[in-house]
Structures are given as C-alpha cells and as structure tokens.
Copies of this chain bind each other. A is one copy, B any other.
C-alpha cells in the first residue's frame, strides 16, 4: 500500500528524505554516470540504508528520471514570451547560468553520451529533450529570419541545429578547461556571425 505524504505527522520528513536521496544521486551520477553507479553508493551518500532508498525510489532508473526532471524546471524562465533575436538573447543567459554550474554541466554531458544507446533508461528523455530544444530554437531563428534579423543566405534550420550542437560541444571543452574563448563568448560569437546586428551593444 503506498504511503501518504502529509506536511505533519510521522511522514513529515518524507520530502527532506527524498531531497537527500536526490542530492546524493545527482552527485553520484555526475561523477561517474548512471551505468557505473549503484543504489548502495547513493544510499551511503544520503546517510541511509538501501531499503530506505528503494522505499522512495524503487529502481535506479526511477531515481535517474527524478534527478533529470528536477534540473529542467528553471531553464524556461529565461525564454518565456521572447521571439527572434530576443529569444536568442535569452539563450545566452541560459548558457551563462549553465557555465556557472560545473556539476550540472557534467551530469548532462555524461548522461547524454551514455544514454545514446537505445536501451538506456534516459534514452527517450534525451531524445525528447533534443526535439523540444530543436523546435524552440528553430522557431526563434525562423522568427529572426522573418524579422530581417538574420544575415542574407543564412539557413535558419541549420543555424538553429548548429547552435545547439555548438552549445553541447562548448560545455565539453569547458569541462576539460581547453580553448581560449569561454562558453558565453563562443555562443555569442556564433550568433554575431549570423545576425545583422550584434545582440549586445
């Protein structure tokens, strides 16, 4: 029988317990990916027993999904209600935010790579995530084209797809500490080569 979660009573600490497990899982996954991690390791990181963890998250796959969903919530804040070059400006803000958090960057880099196999539990999540991002950024570039913000001859579809590819690759370079330009400069430089007017004065 599933336990009921309430604000008071014997189960009041459930949210805190879940949070501790999610934090430990985030830390463990971002260090070595999903495949090489164990629930025992995650339980240990949360200061709990294995049954204590599986009571909240029955499998490692369920826990992985919870970790991923939790990290996706705040990206939209920067992008809502924006169109064209203004939306692209919002993307730069997201890039700057991502750049400040090395652990999130590593979590997504390592999971996105290992989830490329069809049978990985996060495969569908990452495929859908890419499709959502491709659509959103593609829309922004097409709006920019219609608003006359794109340089003549620039392929809006390819430019959007390239933008996402460049962002992913820039994160990897940053994790290795290679390259003279930082992530924000790379993304900004990429857009400046495509847009009629620079995004920032």
Contacts and interface: CB of A to CB of B under 8 A. Distances in A.
Number of copies: 2
A109 B164 CA distance: 16
Majority SS of interface residues in chain A? Answer: helix
Interface residues of A, number: 50
A84 B35 CA distance: 42
Given A33-B35, A165-B172, A112 B113 contact: yes
B176 A165 contact: no
Interface stretch (A1-9, A10-18, A61-69, A155-163): A155-163
Contacts of A19: none
A129 to B, nearest CB: 9
A199 interface: no
Contacts of A180: 157, 161
A78 interface: no
Contact of A126 (B157, B176, B192): B176
A117 interface: yes
B189 A159 contact: yes
A86 interface: no
Contacts of A35: 32-33, 35-36
A166 interface: yes
A165 B180 CA distance: 13
Contact of A176 (B127, B172, B185): B127
Interface string A141-165: 0000000000101110111011011
A160 B157 CA distance: 22
